[in-house]
Structure 1
């Protein structure tokens, strides 16, 4: 059928058998026709974090692999972070602008946006960083399976990490 198995990034297995991962294999993959493969550039298969299933999810990426710059977005969950409202209040009160009231308001909002962007790049303000850290810790535990069976403590730790990831 002239199917092409595209580039595979990272990982070696896509399926695991049993609670202790006694067997593993790469049985999941994307197969493309050579015509489709020639119509798109930079096609690759990327394994995602395995959370519950015994199969590793796979994403098919094509086109530019550069991450585009995103616009600033206020995250409602920031309001639940301890001390966040006080931090915003302190920032707001520290801004000094003079002029018409609409100019002062616009200037303060712009300055606050910059402070929030700066804060959102920190561990405390970035849900993406927090979730990524949890996924990396789970992946570290999964990598143990390449050499040995996980201990009960490691299995419990992975379950706790998964629970925290699900909550966030």
Structure 2
């Protein structure tokens, strides 16, 4: 960390619209070294001289650092008599409440997952569709904790067992049983590698085709970076810089509550000349509910990794579970149709 005397983005220097050759070289060096440039959330510039302002003070950390301290934050201090603002590195875990539910694509690599979903869905009976999904998310959360919790520990356990078999072979102890055991351990370990990679690819949520090299650490890094950039550490409220997370949440809630509140307006009927009456044939077409085939076609037209609603279920979950609970799910969607906008690409 310190004064690197160079920028990596045009926004880091006032009045600059392009990067110099030295800045491009410095940016490429950061990429080649495999380090992460941590952002400062409360200061746009860290160096001042007259009218010149730049952000040339930075902290570069390794991927190992981010894995050990994923909540590392930077804060700028008062400049005082210096040209530079001091940089304060903090590693404080802030509790933002329980994490929202999210369906994971890695669950489908488990042989008993679809069977569990079918049993849980039928066990909920004739509950309303939205309540049924909410109750199912609780069961999925428990199942995830039991079968997919501590993936790193499970991988480490398999790797240790594989090493023990290799040590036995190195000591001259070798037979068909040891070889079969090692092959079984390798297969299980590879499954957990795939599950971990699928998990972090989904946490990333966008594609980096150039850099994807089946390196889970790469996806860890990008996911943590996005989480840091999206966090609101400070907010200017009525001219005061607030850092208390509770006050920030209240201010954001009140802002949108006032923004989207219902305003009083005179009641206007459809017969007041605003719209023309449609024919009986068109009215019947608008009231016809979609067929199961149309619902299925719309669902399969949606991109799998996106969340269609705020309940955390993505379209991949709906598609993969369709074969198990397809009939019941189609009926539930059709029953819920007046409240559920079925459109292509939803």
* Fold shared by both chains (TM-score > 0.5): no
Greater share of strand: 1
Give the alignment's TM-score, normalised by structure 1.
0.41
- The structure having more radius of gyration, on CA atoms, is 2
Q: Which has the higher helix share?
A: 2
TM-score by length of 2: 0.23
